[in-house]
Amino acid sequence: MRRLVDRLVCLGLSHRTAPVELRERVGALGPGAERCPAVGEHAVLATCYRVELYATLADGVEDAREELIGALAGEHGVDRALLLDHLYVHAGEDVARHLCRVAAGLDSLVLGEAEILGQVGDAFEESRAAQSVGPVLSLLFRTAVRAGRRARAETAIGANPSTASSMALSLAEGVLGDLGERRVLVVGAGRIGLQTLKAASGRGIVQIAVANRTPERALDVAARFSASAYGLGELEDALAWADLAVTATSSEEPVVTGAAVRAAMSRRDERPLVLVDLAVPADVERDAADVPGARLFDVDDLRAGLDGAIASRLREVPKVEAIVEEEVDAFGRRYRELEVRVGELRKRETASVVVATDDGSMGHHGFVTELVEGYEAWADQAFACGPEPMLRALARLAVTRRGRLGLVPHRLVRGSHRSRMRRRLVRGRIDHVARDLGKERDVDRRPG
């Protein structure tokens, strides 16, 4: 019999395999999965650089996988052959390995980036809220989050800044000290400008402002970060206010002139001003560096720091890979151990389920996996993840007054029954749990 873990698949497109146009066209893979009968649980991880679908499939995994790929191509209006050219597929324990590497930052555009761990966690929580994940994907995502946390706690994979925005803040700290109480101005509201605002907010900096050529865009971006907004016509006022100005526009001409910096410094009571120019071509005129009290860093200064940071992170990769393998081994070991338990439970002859019949009497109808028929794989996965998931599985499986299977929300099973069932599950008394479900009046009253 195929192991439960072999039904686990990941299908994805990333910056390594697909152009941005295709990734944007596909967008999210969830809608296609929802409409595919071969899919059980599913979750989508979508970031700027990747879109991935994690799913459990029905028996006949190869056929189910082909059915899923066809459903995704049809849902997003993408030629199947084009999708296959750029799609990568992982199966079984390789899915756990891949997601653990993603969460640890090993598969990111910027090695060791911190944001991806939060994005993995958010994808899991969103899927839980949508009720599209069950025991298998819950175990998978929790394993990946644990691997990502360990990678950052036990190694220096994320210790040194490795993005232009984070390096800009680090350079400024070398001049100004702790930035927590400093005022930060970001000139430009494009991708790098947004990254800088996010990095500043992530460091706990609360005095933030954004300046942009289009005032409406400045106001919109500022609202996301509880920041102030300036137009480029107000740049002198903004520079007079700021302690650090990070520029990242797409202008072909400098937007910060030496004259503007000189005028701003005359209003600052000798407070130093750090300018970090992330733009190519430059946003800040070179003679701004000659203004007393102003310190200018450009992309060459950043490049030297980034090269050193990446080299430092590369030395940590073997340690992170070892952590990933430990977590993957734990993931596989738990599945193998629990599959043995599932087999033992199936052999028990005494376990039974109580069914409410038409005349209100109670009858016994064999072992639970024989009764649930179409829900068998789902119940197997719940068995495999321990007492609490199994409790939820049994709480959702009930029989109507006409003797047919139905589903009820877990919340409809009263608290006293849940507590009693949990205790009996821990003791392995599946038959008594089934009787409790049969007695639950909220369950019995559900229509067929």
Q: Which helix (H) or strand (E) holds 126?
A: helix 115-129
Does residue 48 have an active-site annotation? yes
Q: In whole angstroms, what is the distance from residue 348 CA to residue 367 CA?
A: 8
Structure tokens at 394: 């049994």
Pairing label, strands 228-231, 207-212: parallel
- 3-class SS at 167? helix
- 3-class SS at 9? strand
- Which residues 6+ apart lie within 8 Å of 257 measured at CB? 285, 288
- 10, 48, 100, 385: the active-site residue: 48
Q: In whole angstroms, what is the distance from residue 321 CA to residue 301 CA?
A: 31
DSSP 210-275: EEESSHHHHHHHHHHTT-EEEEGGGHHHHHHH-SEEEE----SS-SB-HHHHHHHHTTTTT--EEE
Q: In whole angstroms, what is the distance from residue 345 CA to residue 340 CA?
A: 9
Structure tokens at 362: 């109670």
Q: CB 21: neighbour CB atoms within 10 A? A: 8
In 3D space, the residue among 299, 249, 272, 310 whose CA is nearest the CA of residue 109 turns out to be 310
- 3-class SS at 63? helix
Sequence length of the chain is 448
- Which residues 6+ apart lie within 8 Å of 274 measured at CB? 171, 172, 175, 176, 243, 244, 245, 294, 295, 297
Structure tokens at 346: 């199936």
- 3-class SS at 112? coil
Residue 386: is it exposed, middle or buried by C-beta count within 10 angstroms (0-12/13-18/19+)? Answer: middle
| Angle (CA) 275 199 178, round 5° | 65
DSSP 402-421: TS-EEE--GGGS-HHHHHHH
- Catalytic residue ranges: 48
